Chains A and B, each alone.
Chain A
Amino acid sequence: MSARSFGSLFMVASCATAALGCYLVSLRVASERAALENVETRIVLAQRDLRVLQTEIGTRGRLSQLERWNAGAFSMNAPAANQLLGGSFELAKLTRPEKQVDFKAPIVLASAPAPAPQRAPIGQPETDDAGAPVAIPMPGGMLHEASLKTETREVPARTVAALPEPAGMKSADKPVTAAKPARIKSADMPGLAAAQSRPAKAAPTTIAGASKTAPKKSVDKPVLGAAKPMTKRVQLAKTDPLAPLPDKHSGRPKDAPTGR
């Protein structure tokens, strides 16, 4: 009975609740939308600020202004035609591989097997190479080293050279001094061609200077001639070891006395 009489009331209440629920959902949606619009508004405002700032930067850095700065301070010019390259290939063409002579590593080993058979040919020319006075005492000990290091490879040559021509010892001082520049030159420009060209150049001057220089010229040539029968590596090694010689030479006098 009571339930029946309150039935309509319940209906009204449930309707009201449903309506309220719907309204709350709608309210929630509206508030979300408002928040979204707020964000959108802020985006638009930020875009407007961006525009203003971009415009300001653009105006301050306008091309005519840059041109004025360039004329006054930087004075940069348009690149000339030869400063522009067509591609990476042309760029690569500009660089030449740098010729580096590494005196320490592979050449040493390549020359290692050489000592025994080539002592005579190499040595003969090099006798005059001013190593003679220094070289005499060394042969025994240095041969061991010769099979191990470049430095030593040079040494046996001298020792061998010194043996057949003890007379050359007279000129010990002079050849040393005369020989130095030749060695330095060859050190500057390693390679067989350089080695060949150097003596030729040096020849006229030395000939004019003294008769003793003549053997020197001939000294170099036989060296090359002797080098030819060797393997290529040996040839290269022949020229290269000339470079460290000055160092060695300076060191040699120190060593030599102690050795004696």
Chain B
Amino acid sequence: MNAPQPALVAPRPERLRLVGQRRQMLAVMHQRLMFGMVLYAGLIALIALRILYLAAFGDHAGRKEGLTALIPDRGDILDRDGEPLARTIDAWTIAVHPGKVIGDKLALAQKLAQLMPEQTSEQYFALLRSNKPFIYLRRRASPELVEAVNAIGEPGVAIEREPDRLYPQTSLAAHTLGFTGIDGHGGAGVERAFDTYLSDPRTRGSPLVLSISSKVQQALEAELGDAKEHFSAIGAAGVVMDVHTGEILAMTSLPAFNPNAPGQATPDQMFNRATLGVFELGSTFKPFTLAMAMDSGVVSGPSQIMNCPQVLPAYGHLVHDTHPFGRQCSIAEVMMESSNIGMAQIADKLGTARQKAWLKKMGFLDKAEVELKEKGRPLTPGSRWGPFETMTIGFGQGIAVAPLQLAMGYATLFDGGIYHPPTVLKIGPDHPLPPGRRVFTADTSYRMRSLLRLVVMKGTGKKADAPGYRIGGKTGTAQKIINGRYSQSINLTSFAGVFPMDDPRYVIVVMLDEPKATKETYGFTTAGWNVAPVVSRTVSRIAPMLGVAPDMNREPNMSEVLPYVQEAKKPESSKD
């Protein structure tokens, strides 16, 4: 049974083996099928879920991204009253793709020259034949021009809208605002200082509100521009500042430029005389010297009597006055008649070390703390700062600061002696007032009021008075250094004023660079004749807007100074 069966037995294990294999194969196949099915089911489930998700939460085909809110490509800049000073709008741009022009290039060039006459038809033809892929023909084109160019019907001419920075007030506050380059980034002023804020998508939606008031700015620019033209000055600068907060309400530098077309501006126009330029501002410095002396106890007050000779010899030099007293005079008179001799003696008593410390405290030895990047570093005698330099700085020669810093100094002096850094941003919930620091005592600040009012009432600044607005201030006529020497005829005149003097609220500083004498000034080029009237006119324009009510019956406490002034003087004093 066993013998014949070996053949039978032998295949058995084979068949068995086959059966085992088939089972195994079947199992594998099942596994693979299952795997494939799971895979496909998973895929389908994934797609179905995705579809369901999209149906429930997804965007639909017609959805427009980014249009749910109007976020300009660059943030707006507004003035303190919400008037736009800089905006980004879509402007028409006309360009050409020379390679895509299919019509007659010569005829096209002629038509373009007809519509845009800034280039000749030959130049246009040369452009059209060049190998450049893309050429701008006109940016910020007017709608009429765009329509006319479009009517040519040439597909090679591209008419597009692209964001463009527009300054609606043109040259108003141009130096404060600055400009933007073709790349859309700020090139100067606020545009440069706040470039990241204005271009960051997270912040550019909310406009940047400046402390500038466009109405005040316009009044200052117009009056200063008139004076600059009238006296043929090479330049002018002006600042109006809030005494209590340090906000700059207006700041101008003339000649100005048009930020809409910064490429056409000359370097002289671009130069910000109010912050970047530093000038020896002359007698406008005298109130600081006096305040320092009063605070230090060197001078008791306006009543103190001192010797005012015709000429004061000091440290190997002679100090002159344009209208010397030649007698004993009071501090009030020194201030009223802007006596260099008197002020030099006060500065001498104060001493170099104290003067430096005070100037440092007032921020006159460093760049101004304003946000703008165009800031000039003050010029001081440096290592040569000896007793004679102390004297000259006492009356404003030998130290050069920016007009903005002068305004800052007056704001400090009349804000009860508290310094607030000047700012171009509006003080408000978004930009709270930073804590100030005390420089002068409140008493000194109070006593300076009547002294500066006296200058305008009876002294060198009579022409700066605006009836009812109680302006107080100081004229300054500084000699300019021409070829290394102080010129006797070329001046830089300035006036620093505060109003209303019985409760100081605003500082105004104006400056004229190299004003010439005219018939009305009787040949004088001193500040009392050319910049003081600018202050008078500007203040009578801006004060009602700033809420300063005119009052003919209010004055600071003049009884502190008037008793110490000798009346019988020449009729018209016209020095610095």
Question: With contacts A44-B70, A78-B544 known, is A62 near B552, CB below 8 A?
Answer: no
**Complex CA–CA separation, A143 to B375 (angstroms):** 97
> Interface digits, B503-518 against A, CB 8 Å rule (1 contact, 0 not)?
0000000000000000
Given the interface pairs A55-B89, A59-B168, the reply to whether A81 lies near B218 with Cβ below 8 Å is no
Q: A78 with B215: in contact, given A33-B60, A41-B64, A59-B168 (CB under 8 Å)?
A: no
- Cα distance A88–B218 when bound, in Å? 30
CA of A41 to CA of B62, assembled, Å: 11
Question: Which of B109-117, B144-152, B466-474 is found at the contact surface with chain A?
Answer: B466-474
Q: Tell me whether A51 and B89 are in contact in the complex, defined as CB-CB below 8 angstroms, given that A58-B168, A78-B541, A84-B550 are known contacts.
A: yes
B55, B215, B467: the one within 8 Å of A30 (CB): B55
Interface bits A37-48 vs B (CB < 8 Å: 1, else 0): 100110011011
CB–CB A62/B67 < 8 A: no
| Nearest A residue (CB) for B221 | A64
Residue of chain A at shortest CB distance from B57: A26
Q: Establish whether residues A82 and B468, one from each chain, have CB atoms under 8 Å apart when the complex forms.
A: yes
Asked whether any CB of chain A lies closer than 8 Å to the CB of B555, the reply is no
Q: In the bound complex, how far is the Cα of B77 from the Cα of A58, in angstroms?
A: 14
Encode contact with A along B167-190: 1 for CB under 8 Å, 0 otherwise.
011111000000000000000000
In the complex, which residues 32-90 of chain A have their Cβ closer than 8 Å to any Cβ of chain B?
33-34, 37, 40-41, 44-45, 47-48, 51-52, 54-55, 58-59, 62-64, 67, 78-82, 84, 86
B234 beta carbon closer than 8 Å to chain A = no
Residue total for B at the interface (Cβ-Cβ under 8 A): 39
Shortest B86–chain A CB gap in Å is 10
Enumerate chain A residues within 8 angstroms of B551, measured Cβ to Cβ. 81, 86
A8 to B68: give the CA distance in the assembly, Å. 48
- Say yes or no: is B540 at the interface (Cβ < 8 Å to chain A): yes
Please name the 10 residue pairs, one residue from A and one from B, whose CB atoms are nearest each other, closest first: A81-B468, A81-B550, A63-B218, A58-B168, A78-B541, A59-B168, A26-B55, A81-B467, A62-B169, A47-B70
Determine if A103 is an interface residue (Cβ-Cβ < 8 Å): no
Contact present for B222 and A67 (CB under 8 Å): yes
What residues of B have a CB within 8 angstroms of the CB of A82 in the complex? 467-468, 550, 552
Tell me how far the C-beta of B396 lies from the nearest C-beta in chain A, rounded to whole angstroms: 31
Please name the residue on chain B nearest to A70 by beta carbon: B222
The reply to whether B63 and A37 form a contact with Cβ atoms under 8 Å apart is: yes
User: Which residues of chain A are within 8 angstroms of B64 by Cβ–Cβ distance?
Assistant: 37, 41
Q: Which B-chain residue is minimally distant from A83 (CB atoms)?
A: B550
**A23 contacts B by Cβ under 8 Å:** yes
Report B's interface with A, CB cutoff 8 A: 55-56, 60, 62-64, 67-70, 83-84, 87, 89-90, 166, 168-172, 214-215, 217-218, 221-222, 466-469, 537, 540-541, 544, 549-552
**Interface contacts beyond A59-B169, A64-B171: sample of 14 additional A-B pairs, CB < 8 Å, sorted by A:** A33-B60, A34-B60, A37-B64, A41-B68, A44-B69, A47-B70, A55-B84, A55-B166, A55-B168, A58-B84, A58-B169, A63-B217, A81-B466, A81-B468
Q: Tell me the nearest residue of chain B to A81, going by C-beta.
A: B468
**Which residues of A sit under 8 angstroms from B550, Cβ to Cβ?**
81-82, 84
Report whether B168 and A34 are in contact in the complex, using a CB–CB cutoff of 8 Å: no
B87 to chain A, nearest CB (A): 5
B55, B68, B83: the one contacting A23 at CB < 8 Å is B55
**What is the chain A residue whose CB lies nearest that of B71?**
A44
Report B-chain residues with C-beta under 8 Å of the C-beta of A62.
168-170, 172
Using Cβ atoms and an 8 Å threshold, which residues of chain A touch B222?
64, 67
A84–B550 Cα distance when bound, in Å, is 7
Q: How far is the CA of A63 from the CA of B250 in the complex (A)?
A: 14
What's the minimum C-beta distance from A63 to chain B, rounded to whole angstroms?
4
When A and B form their complex, what is the total count of cross-chain residue pairs whose Cβ atoms lie within 8 Å?
91
**CB-defined contacts of B215 to chain A, threshold 8 Å:** 63
Collect the chain A residues with CB atoms within 8 Å of residue B552's CB. 81-82
Q: A30-B55, A81-B469 are in contact. Are A48 and B70 (CB under 8 A)?
A: yes
A residues less than 8 Å from B63 (CB atoms) = 34, 37
Bound Cα distance from A78 to B551, whole angstroms? 16
Q: How far is the CB of A80 from chain B (nearest CB, A)?
A: 7
List, in ascending order, chain A residues with CB within 8 A of B218's CB. 63-64, 67
B253 to nearest A CB, angstroms?
A: 16
In the bound complex, do residue A81 and residue B168 qualify as a contact, i.e. CB atoms below 8 Å apart? Answer: no
Cβ contacts A to B, 5 pairs, < 8 Å? A23-B55, A34-B62, A44-B69, A82-B550, A84-B468
Least CB distance, B482 to chain A, in whole angstroms: 34
Q: Write the chain B residue with the least CB distance to A54.
A: B84
Closest to B537 in A: A78
Residues of B within 8 A of A52 (CB): 89-90
Least distance between A251 CB and chain B CB atoms (Å): 55
Q: Which of B67, B166, B172 contacts A64 (CB 8 A)?
A: B172
Contact B172 A86 (CB under 8 A): no
Q: Flag if A63 contacts B70 (CB, 8 Å).
A: no
Whose C-beta in chain A lies nearest to the C-beta of B83?
A58
Which residues of A lie under 8 Å from residue B544 when comparing CB positions? Answer: 78-79, 84
Contact among B68, B170, B217, B468 with A37 in the assembled complex (CB-CB below 8 Å)? B68
Residue of B nearest to A40 (CB): B68
CB-CB under 8 A from A79, the residues of chain B are 544
A63 contact from B68, B89, B214, B466, Cβ within 8 A = B214
Q: How far is the CB of B410 from chain A (nearest CB, A)?
A: 23
Q: Are B540 and A81 in contact (CB under 8 A)?
A: yes
Using Cβ atoms and an 8 Å threshold, which residues of chain A touch B89?
Answer: 51-52, 55
Query: With A41-B64, A59-B166 in contact, do A51 and B87 touch (Cβ < 8 Å)?
Result: yes
Least distance between B52 CB and chain A CB atoms (Å): 9
Q: Is the CB of B67 within 8 A of A41?
A: yes
Residues of B within 8 A of A27 (CB): 55
Q: Chain A contacts of B467 at CB under 8 A?
A: 80-82
A26 to B56, Cβ gap below 8 A?
Answer: yes
- Docked CA distance A79–B550 (Å): 10
A54 to B550, CA, bound (A): 35
Which of chain B's residues has its CB closest to A41's CB?
Answer: B67
Question: Bound state CA distance, A47 and B170, in angstroms?
Answer: 23
Q: Complex formed: what's the CA distance from A48 to B64 in Å?
A: 16
In whole angstroms, what is the CA distance A80 to B466 when docked?
A: 9
- Min CB–CB distance B395 → chain A (angstroms): 33
A81–B550 Cα gap in the complex (Å)? 5
**CA gap between A79 and B215 in the complex, in Å:** 15
Say whether, besides A59-B166, A59-B168, A44 and B67 are in contact (CB < 8 Å).
yes
Residue of B nearest to A87 (CB): B549
CB neighbours of B221 from chain A (8 A): 64
What distance in Å separates the Cβ of A70 from its nearest Cβ neighbour in chain B? 9
Query: Taking CB as reference atom, which chain A residue is nearest B58?
Result: A30
Residue from B67, B90, B467 with most neighbouring chain A CB atoms (10 Å): B67
Task: State the Cβ distance, A240 to closest chain B Cβ, in Å.
Answer: 41
A14 smallest CB distance to B (angstroms): 18
| Residues from chain A with Cβ under 8 Å of B549 in the complex | 84, 86
CA distance A81 to B553 in the complex (A): 11
Q: Are B60 and A30 closer than 8 Å at their CB atoms?
A: yes
- Complex: how many Å from CA A203 to CA B70? 87
Specify the chain A residue showing the minimal Cβ separation from B91.
A52
Chain A residues contacting B56 (CB-CB under 8 Å) are 26
CA distance A54 to B76 in the complex (A): 13
Complex Cα gap A54–B169 (Å):
12
A23 to B, closest residue via Cβ: B55
Contacting residues, chain A, for B70 (C-beta < 8 A): 44, 47-48, 51
B-chain residues with CB within 8 Å of residue A63 when the two chains form the complex: 169, 172, 214-215, 217-218
